[in-house]
Structures are given as C-alpha cells and as structure tokens.
Amino acid sequence: MEKKKTINFGAGPAKLPPSVLLQAQKELLDYNNIGISVLEMSHRSADFSKIINTTENLLRELLNIPENYKVLFLQGGGSGQFSAVPLNLIGLKEDRCADYVVTGAWSAKAAKEAEKYGQINVVHPKLDKYTSIPDNSGWSLNPSASYVYYCCNETVHGVEFNFIPDSKDVILVSDMSSNFLSRPVDVSKFGLIFAGAQKNIGCAGVTVVIVREDLLGKACKECPVVLDYQVQAGNNSLYNTPPCFSIYVMNLVLEWIKNNGGTEAMEKLSKQKSSLIYDVINNSGGFYSCPVNEDCRSRMNIPFRIGRKEGDEALEKLFLDGASKLGMISLKGHRYCTYCKMLHYNSLYIVGMGNIIKKKKLSQ
C-alpha cells in the first residue's frame, strides 16, 4: 500500500525538513552513541552543553549576531515574551512607558499584555482592519518611551514589514516568530528580537531571545525569575531545566538552513514560493482575492478568499475539502478570521507549492 503524501501548510507547529525528522528519528533512542536519548539527557551534562552551545553558535553565524548580544533559549512561546519584554525593559526610563505598532492579532495581544506593567502608546490611529502598515513617517513616537515594539510578520492577517522601522533612537523590539531566519537581518539595529521556534526553526517548546547586553539587569521587581533576561543570560539559559529536545531539534534545523545556503537562500526561496501564489491570485480575474495591501503582503502567510472579495463560504469549503483529499492540510485560516490561508515557511518545498497551484487553478 502506497504511503499517503501529506503537504502541511500549518501555521505552527509547522512542517520540518524531512532530513531533520529522519535524523531525530535515528538518534531518538541513542544520541551520538552515548546510550541514552536527548529526551532523558541531563541539561547540565557535557553532551547537552555541546548541543546548546553549538545551537547558539549556529544562530550567531547565520544572523551575524554581534558579540555584545546575548542569545537565550527560553520557554513560554511568543505569549511569554509579551510579558517578558515589558517586565525587562519598560523600566529602562523613569516614565515606564512604551510605544507599540499594532498591525495584527499578535501585536494587539502584546500591547494589551504590556498595559499591565506601564503606559502603552499605540503610535498610529487604530486600524479598522489589519490589511496595511501605517506610514512610519506619521507614527506618533514618544521620546520618553523605553522601547518601540512591532511584530515583523503577522501570522494571522498576512501583513509583513519589508523595512526596519525608524524608532528615533529609542530601543527597537521585534517579534520575528513567523519570519525568523527567512531573510538576513541587521541585528545591530535592534535592542531585542524574539522568535518562537515552531514556525521556521524547529518544533514547539523553545523561544529564542536575542538581547543587547546593556539592556540586561533592568527588570522590574515583579518580573518572575524565569523571565529575567539577566538571570537566564548569567546561567547560559540553564537557570531552570530548558526544553532540551526542542533545542536539539532547532540545532538540526539550523544546520539544515546553513547547508542549504543560509538566510540569503531562504529569502530567495520565500520570494519564489510566495510569488507563485500571488501570481495565481492576481491573475484569477477576481476568483481569488487577498485582502492585504500589495506593499506589505507576507512572504510567509497568505490569506485569501474564493469566489468574491468577501468570500463564498460554499466554494471555500469545496476547496478545503478537495485539498484535504489531495493530502494538503491546514489551509483553513486562523480562528480569528474566516480566510483560507497558506503558510509556507522555510522547510516547505517548491513542489508543495506546485501542488496547491494546480489545485487552485482547477478550482476556477
């Protein structure tokens, strides 16, 4: 019986490279011939120290991270960082305030959480819908803000920044969870970057934080110790037991990215994949439509409607059912919106995109 081929367009946890899965499978019961699995390995052993240190070194190499930045491997996902960022940084200035750019569901959640710890200013008028990015030159930035926060790619709504915002000499913080390592980034322009691993660089359980050293030691007194960046940096992310297996899987994915050309190659691939889909949408005569303005459409997450601009639910159900029968899963949009949606992170190959394009064209 032929094994069913499945193409996973899930938002995260997302598809992993087959070679990574095979390597993890091979080493699951006996890692590196030491007789035990990473799942049962002490986080303070020499073997795990090698894994976590190698993972950090790969990240530093792939992103050219400057020496004056710490790399942390934490738990709690992006939602944990919605709390950790203000708890560690909002006290940098005595006014205890921060500026937030709200362009989608995740930056909105981050701003709401931050309100618990200080005064939060949304730098632009509230958006009626998340389909655009307000012009950076018109943002109402507060020079007394401790930091400016934005989400680089909004997974739910398919809005992506194609520029680094001008924060007017205020520390810039970015949630890069869904486009991390999909293109080169000048880390030196940021005070802090964080990213959950489960989209582009591994499996669920670990969150990467890249933070400039001079920002450490500024945490609010109410900050839980496990979220205190200085404590975690001083303990090599081992203050509490880290998600060892998730860090191990990340290590394998980072090796895969490096061996496949690094961030430059990932950027080229992401542009190729997203262009294939946007071309079908743009040339469908209105049968398919994307609600996001063309100047900020995401390379990672493409929301679309079928039948008409507002969507035809019957046609969309037919599309999703037909795609499922062909082995294409997780094309239904996030629970916050009614769109169909395609998510294609680093490890989704062009062949998978070709299959969905055939399906979309047949649907017309």
Please give the distance of CA 112 from its chain centroid, rounded to a whole number: 19
Backbone φ and ψ of 179, nearest 5°: -135, 20
| 360 assigned to active site | no
The answer to whether 226 and 242 have CB atoms below 8 angstroms apart is no
Q: Which one from 15, 99, 139, 175 is the annotated catalytic residue?
A: 175
Q: Where are the alpha helices (DSSP H) in the chain?
A: 18-27, 46-63, 77-89, 105-114, 229-234, 244-259, 262-282, 313-325, 350-363
- Rg value, the chain, Cα: 21
CB within 8 Å of 164: residues ≥ 6 apart: 172, 186, 189
The HSE-up count of residue 283 (CA atoms within 13 Å, CB side) is 9
1-4 contacts, C-beta under 8 A, 24 or more apart: 4/327
Paired with 150 in beta bridges are 174
Q: Which one from 70, 93, 199, 273 is the annotated catalytic residue?
A: 199
Q: How far apart are CA 126 and CA 309, in angstroms?
A: 23
Q: How far apart are CA 20 and CA 178, in angstroms?
A: 19
Q: How far apart are CA 353 and CA 364, in angstroms?
A: 17
| 199 assigned to active site | yes
CB within 8 Å of 80: residues ≥ 6 apart: 74, 207, 227
| 228 assigned to active site | no
Q: Which one from 15, 93, 99, 106 is the annotated catalytic residue?
A: 106
Cα–Cα distances in angstroms (integers) from residue 355 to residues 83, 181, 347, in the given order: 40, 25, 16
Q: How far apart are CA 98 and CA 89, in angstroms?
A: 9
* Residues recognised as catalytic: 106, 175, 199
